[in-house]
């Protein structure tokens, strides 16, 4: 019988979200032959956009920090900077917070020094504490080497492995920090509003990891023209240029010929077998455990991963205005029903913490004003419909979604009365929808980043397999990309890494 030669790849990357795309492109750019596997029918993961009635909506990428900073540096290294264009928010240019209990809006300026000054003036009794927070936040960001790729050269010369680094602030929670300063609940809520962007409440996240996310968001937040699709299109063009092979509807179904805790031979779900030197798993930790053979994972490892707690997910609502609204802002507004973020982010809390993104999008028929809103929810909110196949036909589930959407519309109209009666909802999704498409348990930010937690990151029990992605280092597009940069360095070594890092201007 004729034997078919196995196709060989240097690295197989599993999962084509932003972390998988980043990893595949970095490896291909230093000459590796790369295979990218995606279980869905198309690539992009949470970066994907979808259209309803011709209007594009974002799934899991609405805004970002890092332009002119760490994001720009990563885009330069990947050689896709020109394709990723920021759109800055309406003046004053930063995010906004709406406190429902007193019907009051706080509008942030775009830059953090202006924000610090504005908040110190607004809360004079806590002005010293506010200034201290901004000083400490900056200290943490600046003393985390990975947050500035220009540091990499110095780090590499010392032969160090790139990592977040460990600071004293990694061992205390954000809440402990606030307690030490003696801050009021309202000021804590204002200073930690971006906890909604990593999904771990102040009582559980380390002060430093919170600051690694919040520093950039306090210092310049923007949308991207064409949202996550801009990244997917830029990656797809590069994937053709560097011959990255992409297989959708495909994953690793078995790791074969395991020797010395290494597998260089993989059976894929499309029925083929391939050989490879390395595999990088850019997927949720629970999906990683499913791929690793039981013979290499012990009980303690499996239990550790099972015990990881997911962050909340979102109920998302996607709407357009039925007529042009003159004073339509382009911005991100956090809606807090009470000025207490820990309460809002805790499970079973009846209070609402919601993000409202108001944007303008281009369609074939001209520009439309778009409203996307996200309300934190947990899997148990929807547990009863989890295993139902055709949820679109389920009357109870659809009624639940309709009631939820009505509540969100009321909240949006409270924040922006000019939109009252002028919103048309084109789509809604629950945490179940996110789970169906992303195999993520529906969590918006993967697993919670608990103080002292040993994340699944880097080398796995199969020694030529690595974990990256939003659950491994820091959540959000930037955290997911950074995790791939670090493991890329580990796989290819400093010399090859330097050839790409040189691109940073």
Ligand X SMILES: Cc1cc2nc3c(=O)[nH]c(=O)nc-3n(C[C@H](O)[C@H](O)[C@H](O)COP(=O)(O)OP(=O)(O)OC[C@H]3O[C@@H](n4cnc5c(N)ncnc54)[C@H](O)[C@@H]3O)c2cc1C
Choice between 75 and 156, CB closer to ligand X: 75
Q: How many residues does the chain have?
A: 505
Q: Does 318 bind ligand X (CB under 6 A)?
A: no
| Interface of this chain with ligand X, residues 74 to 113, rule: CB under 6 A | none
Phi, psi at 97, each rounded to 5°: -125, 135
**At its nearest, how many Å lie between ligand X and the CB of residue 351?**
19
Choice between 129 and 217, CB closer to ligand X: 217
Choice between 155 and 442, CB closer to ligand X: 442
**At its nearest, how many Å lie between ligand X and the CB of residue 160?**
24
Dig out the tokens for 103 from the structure: 């019907």
In the stretch 233-262, what mask flags binding to ligand X with x, by CB under 6 A? ------------------x-----------
Q: Does 15 bind ligand X (CB under 6 A)?
A: yes
**At its nearest, how many Å lie between ligand X and the CB of residue 370?**
14
Alpha helix segments (H runs only) across 318-384: 341-344
Q: Does 434 bind ligand X (CB under 6 A)?
A: yes
* Pair 126, 184: CB distance under 8 Å: yes
In the stretch 457-486, what mask flags binding to ligand X with x, by CB under 6 A? ------------xx----xxx--x------
Please identify which residue in 9, 12, 17, 376 interacts with ligand X, judged by CB under 6 A: 17
Nearest to 147, CA basis, from 500, 486, 488, 497: 486
Q: Can you give 284-330 as a three-state secondary structure string?
A: CHHHHHHHCCHHHCCHHHHHHHHHCCECCEEEEEEEEECCCCCCCCC
Please identify which residue in 89, 152, 315, 374 interacts with ligand X, judged by CB under 6 A: 374
- 3-class secondary-structure state, position 162: coil
Phi, psi at 31, each rounded to 5°: 95, 5
Please identify which residue in 35, 246, 283, 447 interacts with ligand X, judged by CB under 6 A: 283
Q: Does 173 bind ligand X (CB under 6 A)?
A: no
Residue 91, C-beta contacts closer than 8 angstroms, at least 6 positions apart:
none
User: Within 13 A of 491's CA, how many CA atoms are on the CB side?
Assistant: 30
Burial 93-122 (b: 16+ CB within 10 A, else e): bbbbbbbbeeeeebbbbbebeebbbbbbee
Choice between 359 and 494, CB closer to ligand X: 359
Candidates 62-70, 147-155, 292-300, 490-498; binding stretch for ligand X (CB under 6 A)? 62-70
Q: Is 137 left (phi over 0), alpha (psi -120 to 50) or beta?
A: alpha
Candidates 213-221, 380-388, 436-444, 495-503; binding stretch for ligand X (CB under 6 A)? 436-444
Please identify which residue in 316, 359, 489, 494 interacts with ligand X, judged by CB under 6 A: 316
Footprint of ligand X (CB under 6 A): 14-20, 37-40, 45-47, 60-64, 251, 282-283, 287, 314, 316, 374, 434, 438-440, 444-445, 469-470, 475-477, 480
């Amino acid at each position: 019988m004729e034997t078919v030669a196995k196709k060989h790849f240097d690295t197989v990357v599993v999962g084509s979200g932003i972390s998988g795309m980043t990893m595949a492109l970095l490896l291909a750019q230093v000459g590796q032959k790369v295979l990218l596997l995606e279980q869905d029918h198309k690539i992009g993961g949470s970066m994907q956009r979808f259209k309803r009635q011709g209007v594009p909506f974002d799934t899991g990428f609405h805004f970002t920090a890092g332009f002119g900073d760490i994001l720009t540096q990563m885009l330069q290294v990947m050689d896709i900077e020109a394709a990723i264009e920021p759109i800055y928010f309406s003046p004053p240019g930063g995010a906004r917070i709406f406190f429902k209990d007193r019907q009051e809006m706080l509008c942030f300026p775009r830059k953090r020094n202006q924000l610090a000054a504005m908040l110190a003036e607004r809360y004079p009794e806590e002005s010293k504490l506010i200034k201290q927070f901004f000083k400490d936040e900056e200290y943490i960001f600046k003393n985390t080497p990975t947050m500035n790729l220009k540091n990499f050269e110095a780090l590499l010369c010392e032969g160090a492995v790139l990592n977040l680094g460990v600071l004293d602030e990694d061992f205390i929670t954000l809440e402990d920090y606030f307690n030490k300063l003696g801050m009021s609940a309202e000021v804590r809520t204002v200073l930690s509003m971006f906890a909604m962007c990593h999904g771990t409440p102040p009582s559980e996240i380390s002060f430093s990891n919170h600051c690694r996310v919040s520093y950039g968001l306090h210092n310049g937040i923007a949308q991207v023209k064409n949202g996550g699709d801009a990244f997917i299109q830029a990656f797809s063009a590069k994937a053709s240029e560097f011959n990255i092979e992409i297989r959708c509807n495909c994953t690793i179904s078995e790791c074969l010929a395991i020797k010395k805790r290494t597998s260089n031979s993989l059976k894929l779900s499309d029925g083929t077998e391939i050989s490879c030197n390395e595999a990088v798993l850019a997927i949720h930790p629970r999906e990683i455990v499913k791929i690793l053979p039981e013979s290499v994972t012990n009980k303690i490892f499996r239990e550790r991963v099972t015990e990881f707690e997911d962050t909340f997910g979102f109920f998302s609502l996607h709407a357009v205005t039925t007529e042009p609204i003159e004073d339509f802002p382009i911005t991100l507004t956090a809606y807090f029903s009470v000025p207490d973020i820990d309460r809002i982010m805790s499970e079973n809390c009846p209070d609402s913490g919601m993000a409202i993104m108001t944007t303008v999008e281009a369609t074939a028929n001209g520009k439309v004003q778009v409203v996307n809103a996200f309300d934190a929810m947990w899997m148990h909110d929807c547990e009863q419909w989890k295993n139902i196949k055709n949820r679109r036909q389920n009357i109870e589930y659809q009624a639940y979604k309709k009631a939820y959407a009505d509540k969100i519309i009321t909240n949006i109209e409270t924040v922006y009365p000019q939109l009252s009666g002028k919103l048309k909802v084109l789509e809604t999704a629950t945490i179940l929808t996110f789970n169906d498409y992303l195999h993520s348990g529906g969590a918006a930010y993967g697993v919670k980043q608990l103080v002292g937690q040993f994340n699944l990151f880097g080398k796995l029990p199969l020694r030529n397999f690595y974990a990256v992605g939003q659950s491994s280092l820091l959540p959000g597009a930037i955290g997911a990309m950074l995790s791939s940069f670090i493991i890329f360095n580990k796989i290819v070594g400093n010399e090859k890494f330097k050839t790409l890092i040189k691109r940073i201007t």
